[in-house]
A = this chain, B = another copy of it.
Amino acid sequence: MNSFGIKLRFSTFGESHGTAIGTLLDGVPAGLEIDEAYIQSELDRRKPGKSEFETARKEADKVEILSGVFEGKSTGTPIAMIIYNTNQKSKDYSNIKDVFRPGHADFTYFHKYGIRDYRGGGRSSARETAARVAAGAIAKLMLQELDIKVESGICEVAGIESQEFDYKAAKTSIIYALDPKQESAQKEAILEAKKAHDSVGGVSRVRIQGVPIGLGEPLYYKLDGVLADAMMGLNAVKAVEIGDGILSARTLGSQNNDPIRKSGFESNHSGGILGGISNGEEIVLNVHFKPTPSIFKEQHTVTTHNEEVDFALKGRHDPCVAIRGTVVCEAMAALVIADMLLLNMGSTMEGVSKYYK
């Protein structure tokens, strides 16, 4: 159950403090130019230790392609990519060996499997998301060929909301802020929490442009359903909205329906998806991240022997996981769209006949 997607399917492996993490990306059409520098640049956007808004753990996150690429192009065979862990300080974690960190997966992994790699959360660490970003970068290369663009940014930190969504600005913001006017307040909220040994939540907004009409496989592999799974499955995510999301439940039908004109839709409350299928408009998602559970304040918890203790975490952690998380949201969105593109081929007999004749 460590795979995602149907026709474009990736699997990941690896633990936070193991030898390496990596991904196997299966189903990439042959003949795609694989720009390794681009893949690395995507990883660089997610990698830790770039600023005071992130964990101090430094990882080069150098990706190596092991298979599936020949003379710079994909061959149709699985593309394996590996990232060796270099800066794992397992000693940091000796103090949590026997303790369940509140808000973490320690408790559930231990009870499910009866054994756990406690070093940095092992498999449950957000470190695994580097592998997703590597796979997502290749998905993005595919989408580029079809003029589909996936972008994202942070639209809320600690309740401080963006008033506008400037995806270009987000690219150069150290916290990927969508609204330059809110950026400094958002930064301040992060640093304040950090100083208080606490953490804050945030919201990533993802926008996908250029998606053709027709992506999504109803009724049980709908575009919105699969995007929701992809996002909710990320560490710390507790809510996902498509289009107007929660607001749409508070409007009237006459306000929420998007009128249709010859040239397209007059509004986009739906966020580009109707009946689980893309309608040609921008696809828009909001992904809500809880505050990092790793805080340095004392908390109530129990040991693996079910003894109650008061416990203050040590180590290096992001004060707001949403920041680097938004890069992962983009990767997941790209992987979903690319999978849906491949799945949609064959929707009509006319398309099939044309393909084979």
6 CB < 8 A contacts A-B = A1-B27, A3-B26, A13-B24, A15-B70, A77-B122, A262-B306
The DSSP consensus for interface residues of chain A is: mixed
Nearest 6 CB-CB pairings of A with B: A105-B275, A225-B233, A259-B300, A201-B249, A199-B253, A1-B217
A292 to chain B, nearest CB (A): 6
A242 to chain B, nearest CB (A): 5
Contact yes or no, A1 B105, CB < 8 A:
no
Residues of A in contact with B, size category:
35 or more
A266 to chain B, nearest CB (A): 7
**Given the contacts A212-B356, A254-B297, A239 and B242 also touching, CB distance less than 8 Å:** yes
Q: Is A258 an interface residue (CB 8 A)?
A: yes
Contact yes or no, A249 B156, CB < 8 A:
yes
A152 to chain B, nearest CB (A): 15
Interface-located stretch among A42-50, A52-60, A283-291: A283-291
Contact yes or no, B352 A158, CB < 8 A:
no
Additional 20 contacts, C-beta under 8 A, given A253-B291, A262-B302? A1-B220, A2-B78, A2-B220, A3-B11, A14-B80, A30-B347, A30-B348, A30-B349, A77-B123, A77-B218, A112-B277, A113-B348, A158-B250, A228-B240, A251-B291, A254-B297, A260-B302, A262-B308, A345-B345, A345-B352
